[in-house]
């Protein structure tokens, strides 16, 4: 795996640029296409087979140190990072080949949204938020956007679930009751719904594809998970060329722990299958045991622009999906704007009340 790729014209390190759809030299503007594998099929690896070969005692974190090709500085990459920019000269550094991880990514969604476009999506997102403090709106600094390839596990499998439960069927009964009408006590009847319960048991079969589990929790998980959908049909074979100039994180969540997360993602669908199988008007699930088979997985890289802003001594991280431009972030609320809005509502209610009393009442 090539660790560096100098520009054929000036020798500067090339980097992957979404704006130029390939490798680009920021020094002289030379462009170079990434040699992609046209026959690449994003097929998964057999989960149990790979698991049997994995070292269960492998470290959960890795630290890589490397010398920068451009300025010769000795760089300690951050924890679980295998590609980044040199902190001294900003040159792309790809140390993926030195990773101690037993599994390397096989597929990648290359950056499609450029840094400038990401900043534009972020500005639109800010302006569409209600009650955002004005100070935040002036805060988007393009240079601070950091391109990150986030590792994800994807799992495919078939499930066979045996269950026991109860099927509820509605029926209606006439119920007599007494009430008072015009000062007289009268007998009346009304219809009431009841449920009759029957035992139910059976087996349901489901198929799952591309269950996506973030494999590194450096970035806020709740934001990463909300960046979907990614359009995984566009996956390309892993190439270091796609990484150059961006940060690549290695996985910190083991393959097995990832599958435990995938089980949680399957749960609602399996329960829905059981409910459909039970039928009737209402369902109760008493026991369910699932057998997972034909499990396969992929380790893939998904691209995001990360940035953050400070507001009242707090850091607010936000991410931009570098395929779709979708923005996810935590946000502060403007106390001033909220107060004025509440005052406005109070005044509006008062005016409406005055109008109703004087013109209708
Ligand atoms: Zn050049
Ligand atoms: Zn350097």
> Tens digit of pLDDT for each residue in 259-286?
999 999 999 999 999 999 999 999 999 9
| Residues 73, 192 share a domain | no
Domain range for 312: 15-162+201-330
pTM of the model: 0.86
How far is the centre of ligand 1, averaged over its atoms, from the C-alpha of 95 (Å)? 21
More confident residue, 271 or 90: 271
User: Going along the chain, which residue ranges are E strands?
Assistant: 15-17, 22-24, 31-32, 45-46, 65-67, 74-76, 81-85, 92-94, 107-108, 146-181, 184-214, 236-237, 247-249, 282-311, 314-321, 327-329
Q: Same domain, yes or no, for 31 and 176?
A: no
Both 81 and 224 in one domain: the answer is yes
- Count H helices and E strands in the chain, helices first: 7, 16
Do both 319 and 290 map to the same domain?
Answer: yes
CA 109–ligand 2 middle distance (angstroms): 27
Mean pLDDT of 237-265: 95
User: 29: alpha, beta or left, given left = phi > 0 and alpha = psi -120 to 50?
Assistant: left
Cα(144) to ligand 2 centroid in Å equals 18
Find, among 142, 146, 147, 149, the residue nearest to 122 by Cα: 142
At 188-225, the pLDDT tens digits run 999 999 999 999 999 999 999 999 999 998 899 999 99
Q: Are residues 175 and 322 in the same domain?
A: no
Do 119 and 79 share a structural domain? yes
> Residue 95 gets which letter from DSSP?
-
Rounded distance from Cα 17 to ligand 1 centre (Å): 14
The answer as to whether 2 is a domain residue is no
The answer as to whether 52 is a domain residue is yes
**Average pLDDT of 242-261?**
95
Spacing, Cα 331 to ligand 2 middle (Å): 35
Ligand 1 centroid distance, CA of 142 (Å)? 23
How many A from CA of 246 to the centre of ligand 1?
Answer: 18
Of the listed ligands, the closest to the CA of 68 is 2
Residue 359 lies in a domain: no
What is the distance in A from the centroid of ligand 2 to the CA of 114?
Answer: 23
Ligand (nearest to CA of 85): 2
Instruction: Tell me which ligand sits closest to the C-alpha of residue 14.
Output: 1
The answer to whether position 104 is within a domain reads yes
361 has a pLDDT exceeding 60: no
Kindly identify the ligand whose nearest atom is closest to the C-alpha of 11. Answer: 1
- Cα 150 to ligand 1 centroid, rounded to whole Å: 28
What is the predicted pLDDT for the residue at 140? 58
Q: Do 260 and 187 sit in the same domain of this protein? A: no
Is 6 among the domain residues?
no
- Residue 231 maps to a domain: yes
Q: Are residues 173 and 222 in the same domain?
A: no
- Residue 358: inside a domain, yes or no? no
User: Do 157 and 71 fall within a single domain?
Assistant: yes
Q: Are 117 and 216 within one domain? A: yes
Backbone phi, psi, residue 142, to 5°: -60, -40
The mean predicted confidence, pLDDT, of the chain is 91
Q: Is residue 355 part of a domain?
A: no
Q: Same domain, yes or no, for 266 and 296? A: yes
94 and 152 inside one domain: yes
14 C-alpha to ligand 2 centroid (Å): 13
Instruction: Please count the structural domains in the chain.
Output: 2
- The CA distance from 320 to 204, in Å, is 39
């Amino acid at each position: 795996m090539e660790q560096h790729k100098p520009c054929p014209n000036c020798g500067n390190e090339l980097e992957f640029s979404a704006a130029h759809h390939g490798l680009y030299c920021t020094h002289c503007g030379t462009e170079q296409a990434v040699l992609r594998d046209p026959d690449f099929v994003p097929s998964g690896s057999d989960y149990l087979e790979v698991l049997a070969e994995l070292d269960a005692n492998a470290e959960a974190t890795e630290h890589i140190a490397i010398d920068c090709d451009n300025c010769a500085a000795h760089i300690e990459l951050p924890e679980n990072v295998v590609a980044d920019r040199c902190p001294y000269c900003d040159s792309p550094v790809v140390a993926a080949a030195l990773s101690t991880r037993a599994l390397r990514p096989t597929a990648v969604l290359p950056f499609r949204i450029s840094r400038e476009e990401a900043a534009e999506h972020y500005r639109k997102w800010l302006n569409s938020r209600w009650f955002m403090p004005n100070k935040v709106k002036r805060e988007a600094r393009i240079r601070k956007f950091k391109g990150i390839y986030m590792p994800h596990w994807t799992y495919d499998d078939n499930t066979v679930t045996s269950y026991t439960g109860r099927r509820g069927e509605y029926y209606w009964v006439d119920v007599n009751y007494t009430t008072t009408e015009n000062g007289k006590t009268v007998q009346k009847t009304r219809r009431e719904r009841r449920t009759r319960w029957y035992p139910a048991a059976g087996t349901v079969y489901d198929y799952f594809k591309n269950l996506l589990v973030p494999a590194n929790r450096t970035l806020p998980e709740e934001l990463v998970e909300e960046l979907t959908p990614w359009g995984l049909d566009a996956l390309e074979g892993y190439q270091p060329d796609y990484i150059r100039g961006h940060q690549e994180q290695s996985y910190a969540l083991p393959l097995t722990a990832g599958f435990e997360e995938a089980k949680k993602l399957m749960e609602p669908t399996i329960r829905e299958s059981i409910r459909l199988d039970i039928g009737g008007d209402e369902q109760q699930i008493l026991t369910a045991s699932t057998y997972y088979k034909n499990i396969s997985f992929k380790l893939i890289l998904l691209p995001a622009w990360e940035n953050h802003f400070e507001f009242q001594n707090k850091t607010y991280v936000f991410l931009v999906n570098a395929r779709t431009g979708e923005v996810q972030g935590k946000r502060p609320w403007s106390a001033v704007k909220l107060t004025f809005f509440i005052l406005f509502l109070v005044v509006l209610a008062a005016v409406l009340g005055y109008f109703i009393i004087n013109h209708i009442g």
